[in-house]
Amino acid sequence: MLSRTADHLFWMARYTERAEKSCAAGLSRQHRQCAQHARGSLPPLNKGGVC
């Protein structure tokens, strides 16, 4: 039973790490797009132009 619990904890940590990296990549992409909109190199995201 202990090895099964350890296995579950390992995979839970692995999936959590992958989710964190995926989220960080998405936030980074969103930040870059927001910066491009602010500089005027891309049209505004919405009517107000606020990211």
Q: Provide the whole-model pTM.
A: 0.51
Instruction: Please list, in sequence order, all residues whose beta carbon lies within 8 angstroms of the beta carbon of residue 43, skipping any fewer than 6 positions away.
Output: 37
Residue bearing tokens 């350890």: 6
Let me know: does 42 contact 36? Beta carbons within 8 Å: yes
Per-residue confidence (pLDDT) for residue 44, from 0 to 100 = 58
Instruction: Print pLDDT tens along the chain (51 aa).
Output: 789 999 999 999 999 999 988 888 888 887 877 777 777 666 555 555 455
Per-residue confidence (pLDDT) for residue 12, from 0 to 100 = 96
Per-residue confidence (pLDDT) for residue 9, from 0 to 100 = 96
Let me know: does 23 contact 36? Beta carbons within 8 Å: no
Q: What span, in angstroms and rounded, lies between the C-alpha atoms of 25 and 8?
A: 26
Instruction: Please list, in sequence order, all residues whose beta carbon lies within 8 angstroms of the beta carbon of residue 49, skipping any fewer than 6 positions away.
Output: 37
